[in-house]
Structure 1
Amino acid sequence: MIAINNNSNLCTWLNMKHFENDIQTTLEKALLKYDLSPVEFSFLHYLYDQYDSKASLLEIKDSLKLSSAAVSRMAVRLESKDCRPIVRYHSDDNQKAVCLKITESGIAFFKKTSKVVDESLNKSFASEDFQDLRDMILATNTQTE
Structure 2
Amino acid sequence: MSDNSNLCTWLEMKHFEGDIQTRLEKVLKKFDLSPVEFSFLHYLYDQYDSKASLLEIKDSLKLSSAAVSRMAVRLEEKDCKPLIRYHSDENQKEVCLQITTSGIEHFKEAAQEVDRSLNELFSSLDFKKLRDMINSIN
- Scaled to the shorter chain, the TM-score interval is over 0.9
Identity of aligned residues (%): 75
Deviation (angstroms), 1:3: 2.1
Counterpart of 2:132, as a letter, is D
Equivalences for residues 113-124 of structure 1 within 5 A: 113-124=110-121
Deviation (angstroms), 1:4: 3.5
Q: How many matched pairs?
A: 138
Deviation track 1:45-104 (CA, whole Å, cap 9, x = no partner) reads 000000000001111111111111111111111000111000001111111111100000
Q: Secondary structure at the match of 1:11?
A: helix
Deviation track 1:119-139 (CA, whole Å, cap 9, x = no partner) reads 110111010000000000000
2:21 to 5, 21, 24: 24
Cα distance in 1 for residues equivalent to 2:56 and 2:14: 27
Q: Confirm whether residue 42 of structure 1 aligns to residue 35 of structure 2.
A: no
Cα distance in 1 for residues equivalent to 2:44 and 2:30: 22
Determine the structure 1 residue equivalent to 2:2.
3
1:77 to 74, 90, 93: 74
Cα distance in 1 for residues equivalent to 2:6 and 2:65: 33
Determine the structure 1 residue equivalent to 2:63.
66
Cα distance in 2 for residues equivalent to 1:22 and 1:103: 31
Q: Confirm whether residue 57 of structure 1 aligns to residue 54 of structure 2.
A: yes
Cα distance in 1 for residues equivalent to 2:133 and 2:64: 33
Determine the structure 2 residue equivalent to 1:103.
100
TM-score, normalised by the number of residues in structure 1: 0.92
Q: Secondary structure at the match of 1:14?
A: helix
Deviation (angstroms), 1:17: 1.3
1:14 to 7, 11, 18: 11
Determine the structure 2 residue equivalent to 1:88.
85
